[in-house]
Structure 1
Amino acid sequence: MTKSSKKAAPAAKPAASKTPAKAAAKPTAKAPAAAAVTKIGKSELTDMLGERAGLSKKDAGAALSAVLDIMGEALKAGQTIGLPGVGTLSVKATAARTGVKPGTAEKIQIAAGKKVSFKIASDLKKSL
């Protein structure tokens, strides 16, 4: 054996040495509000759709994927999508403008483009 192979690996420093001190700190006022906010993903939507429409998970997943694909294609074509009781998705043009590069004071030109805009339905807005 060589000398280099006999050396022991340096002991790893415990990475959690600062973590307990942070965990023991008082919870902020925003912590409970953040915990209440949840995101529903595609798999949860598929499950809900399957239960409400009486479809299998496979059929509900295929239907949801088809709807999302159709919506994406319609937005790419510049069409507006009305979702009754939810709101309206539309494509809006953005003008060219001057911006500031983050981290520096350098001014940059931001090209004109397009963005997806959402306008909530008035009934849903009132009920929130």
Structure 2
Amino acid sequence: MTKKAAKAPAAKKPAAPKAPGRATAESNKVGKTQLVEQVAEKSGLTRKQSDEAVSVVLDALVDAVRGGQSVGLNGVGTFSVKATAARTGVRPGTSEKIQIPAGKKVAFKVASTLKGTL
């Protein structure tokens, strides 16, 4: 009788992809969950209260920008709405010229105090 070949150790399965929006120790992104945790730690509020506070602030910011207003955050910067002009573009792959309509975009200008400390 022949000896059975020893089984090779099972290969590890690759890690599941990280859910988008989730900051990891390797990531430089801070999401809403991390902001809520920081607000809770620094203010003494519960996580639920902190989540409500952060949500209200973000909703107010979005509503103001949607209304065409600028939003200035002292020491952080200013969100504003900028108009974009109509222009001619080129469709990739076909090199066909297309007309891109005028529109709006959200702009952010970093505060000089923050910029100076980076």
Question: Is TM (by shorter chain) over 0.5?
Answer: yes
1:53 positional shift: 1.1
In structure 2, the residue matched to 1:101 is 91
1:123 positional shift: 1.0
- List, as ranges, runs of 4+ consecutive aligned residues in structure 1 with deviation greater than 6 Å: none
Q: Distance in 2 between matches of 1:101 and 1:36?
A: 37
Q: TM-score, normalised by structure 2?
A: 0.76
Higher helix content, 1 or 2? 1
In structure 1, list runs of 5 or more residues that go unmatched. 1-15, 17-34
Q: TM-score, normalised by structure 1?
A: 0.70
Residue-pair matches, total: 96
Cα deviation digits, residues 41-97 of structure 1 (max 9, x gap): 010000001111111000000111111111111001000000000001100100001
In structure 1, the residue matched to 2:109 is 119
In structure 2, the residue matched to 1:12 is none
| 1:84 and 2:84 are equivalent in the alignment | no
**Seq. identity, %:** 58
In structure 2, list runs of 5 or more residues that go unmatched. 1-10, 12-24
In structure 2, the residue matched to 1:64 is 54
In structure 2, the residue matched to 1:55 is 45
Matches within 5 A, 1:34-45: 38-45=28-35
Q: Distance in 1 between matches of 2:47 and 2:27?
A: 26
3-state SS of paired residue (1:115): strand
